[in-house]
Each structure stands twice: as structure tokens, then as C-alpha cells.
Amino acid sequence: MTSLQVFALLPLIILMAGIVVILVVTAFYRSHPLAAGLTLLTLLLSFLSAVSASGGPPVQVSSLLVMDHYALFYIGLIVAASFFVALISYGYLKIHSENREEFYILLLTATFGSAVLVSSTHFASFFLGLEILSVSLYALIAYQRLDPHNIEAGLKYLILAGASAAFLLFGMALVYAATGAMEFDQIVTTLAGSNSGVSAIELIGLAMLIVGIGFKLAFVPFHMWTADVYQGAPAPVTAFVATVSKGGMFALLLRLFHNTNFQSYGSPLFVVFAVISIASMLSGNLLALLQNNVKRILAYSSISHLGYLLVPFLIVGQGATISITFYLVSYFITTLGAFGVVAVLSDGRADADNLEQYRGLLWDRPWLAAIFTVALFSLAGIPLTAGFIGKFFLIAAGVGSSDWLLVILLVLASAIGLFYYLRIVVIMYLRPQDEISANLRLSSVPWAGAVALAVLVILLIGIGVYPSPLIRMIQIMAASLG
């Protein structure tokens, strides 16, 4: 391995080193502040190394990983999101009786798995990164082992992840049997260069890959138990699953299919992804209308947002990469802010996820109500928020490719979503009743959570008002993918 490859791999090396250091330190000396501090330091150093490495040329590390601008940008995004999750988790864990130090080890391990995913160019690294992420998430979701809801959520995620892995492995085997390749570029070249079209084995293999990825991203109809997992998991873990886990998988999906020509309406891949997009957009929003639990509302909302992302995904090319990446950045910030509010309002007994618990929040915690309002407005795509610019990019991409049906359904689904987002806002701004949500009356908001939420809301509004710097960064990143 050359020094250039080692330098490019520094973000991953630092994450691995941080995991080992915290593991060793915890074995000899238990300290929640120390474990949290080492975690934040590890994530910060990993982020800075990704920024530093992005100034160099793309580096191929064997046939498994590539550290180009695309991979480094998404690694930076994933590490930054994990940094905010760690901040939010610090105050959340202080009020729970479980051992706290191991949580940060699992968080870093899951972050490492997601970072491997976004830099993968081979089925082997794809599967290894996915399993590192998934196994860590089993434990994170069920971390509060004395809570039956956590255990149920962890078990359901285990079953879903097992089903996903089975489909992915079988699909990889069939694609390898048909193409003789496991590298993404070689697979795409083989499929594109076939004079007789895509064979039945190749189609079945790709279909099984899509099913496996669909389970991980909770696309409809692979969304079973998604809301149960979101509801049962600790609030910071739910934020991690909704952002880092899904963002890493979508980044890999984009890399895998970015050179695949399925723009024509008659191609099987276009039809499959279009149907999944429509089903996810409409079903996610309609199911969210029926919920009275904030975490379940946000769970179904995330399903619809991933459906939105498939609209530019069907275009293929640099424009699609820019639209998808900008929307993912805004979605990360918004979702972390929304679940961050849930986390800081939670107590040692249960998460603050019942909708009625938010009645009159404005009069009790005005600044938290304001932050939650901005996050919900961004999810809805209201102007002056990052979500509005992101949704504008999605619609512009769909209009540019004349995918009118998908664009119309995206706008319609967004209008449906506006109802349940505003429903939460109205509840927060109502006058409090005689017995106002005792669970939300905290003596003080944890300082780490307060800092995280303040920075996130500044980013939400800042990107919504002045998105040009982020757009320029994404354009540079997209050019490296091709």
C-alpha cells in the first residue's frame, strides 16, 4: 500500500483507531464524559482528514474501495451527522441507567460501516460495510435492554436485516454468474455491452439486489416494521438510522447505477424504480396521516422522502447526483434536528414521542418549539429552509427530464405531507391545558443537545437562504463520479 493510499484512507483509519482506543479505555476505566469526548474527537479528526484528502486526486485502494471526491464528500457528511448524534446522545444517555460507554463504540462502528459503503466499488466491500453497519445497529436499537419496546424494535430490525442480506447475497451470486465480475464498473460495462440484451439471470439478480436494498432503505413495499423500529429505538439511534444508515445505502445505490442506461420508459429498471418511487411517496405520506406518535410520523415521512429521491435518480448523470446529494444534505440536517428535539425532551421513563405530549410546547419551551417548527417546515419544503431548496432541485430535475407523472405525484405527495407536519406545529402552539405534558417539563436542556440543535437550525436556515457554497461543493463532487 502506498503512502497516497494510506493518506486517502485516513478517515476510515481514524474511525477504526478511535473504536479500539475507546474499547481499551473503557475496559480499564469507565467514564461517560471521557467516552463521549473521545468519540467526538475521533469524528472530528475523521471529518478533517476527509476534507484534507478531498484536495488530492482520486485513489483506488485495490478493487474494493475508491477514495474519490464522491466518497470523501459522503464520508464527511456521514461523520458530521454522527458527530451531532453523539452530541444529542450525551444528555439522553445521562438520564438512563444502562452502561453508556459501549454506546459510543457501537456508534463509531456503525459510522465506519456506512463510510465503507459509500466508498465501495466491489460486492465484497459492499457486503462487508453493510454487515458492519447492520450488526452495530442491532445492538444500538436494542441498547436499553430493560425496555421491551427496544428489544422488540431490535428483533424486528434483525429479521429485516437478515432478509435484506439474504436477497443481496443471492442477487450478487446471480449477477456474478451472469457477468463474471464483482466490480461495479465491470458489471455495468458488461450489462451495457450485451448485444442480446439483459439475460433472465441478470434480471433476476438485479431484482434481488433491488429487493435487498429496498429493505435497507424502507422503500414501499419493503417498509414492514420500519415505523415499529423507529418508535422502539432510542431517539438518538432513530436519528442515526434515518440519516447515516439510509444515506450511506442511497449513496452506494447511486454509485452502483449511475452509469446504467435506464432513462427510457420501456426499460425494466426504469419501470421498477418508478413504481417504487410512486408507492413510497404516496404510501409514506398517507400512512403518516393516520399516526398519533411523532416518531412514527417521522418514520413514514422518511419513507416518502426516499421516494422523492428516486425521481432524480431515474435521470442518471451528473444532474441527478447534484439533486440527490443536495437533498440528502438538507434531509440529514432536518431529520437530525427533528429527532434531536424528541431526544432532549425525553426523560428516563420513555421517549417524548406521543403527539399529545407536545401540546403547548411553545409556552413551556419556546426555543425548542421554534427549532422543531423550522425542522418540520424544512421537511415540508417551506421557503427559507434547506428543505425548500432541496425539493426545488428534485422538481427541477424531474421537469428537465420530462418525467411529468413523477413530478406531479411528488408535488401531490408533498401537499399531503404538509398536513401532518402542520398538525404537529398546531399542537405545539395551542394554549396549554391544566395538566400540560409533565414529561416535557425538564429542569434544563442538556448542554450538548442544545449546542447540536442550535447549530442544526442555523444550518437549516443558512442553506435555505444562501445555498451557493454547498451547491459548488456538490458540483465538484458530482464531477468526480461522472
pLDDT in tens, 75-130: 999 999 999 999 999 989 888 767 889 999 999 999 999 999 999 999 999 999 99
Number of domains in the chain: 1
Specify whether the CB–CB gap between 26 and 105 falls below 8 A: yes
Range in 106-115, 191-200, 367-376, 446-455 with the lowest mean pLDDT:
191-200
pLDDT at residue number 435? 54
Is 213 within 8 Å of 253 (Cβ atoms)?
yes
Q: Residue 22's pLDDT is what?
A: 96
User: pLDDT tens, 243-288?
Assistant: 999 999 999 998 888 766 555 555 778 888 999 999 999 999 999 9
Phi first, then psi: what are they for 365, rounded to 5°?
-135, 75
> Side-chain half-sphere of 450: how many Cα atoms within 13 Å?
6
Look up the domain containing 408 and give its range. 3-481
Any idea what the Cα angle at residue 271 is, between residues 267 and 276, rounded to 5°?
150
Does residue 66 sit in helix, strand or coil? strand
The pTM assigned to this predicted structure is: 0.94
Question: In degrees rounded to 5, what are phi and psi of residue 60?
Answer: -90, 120
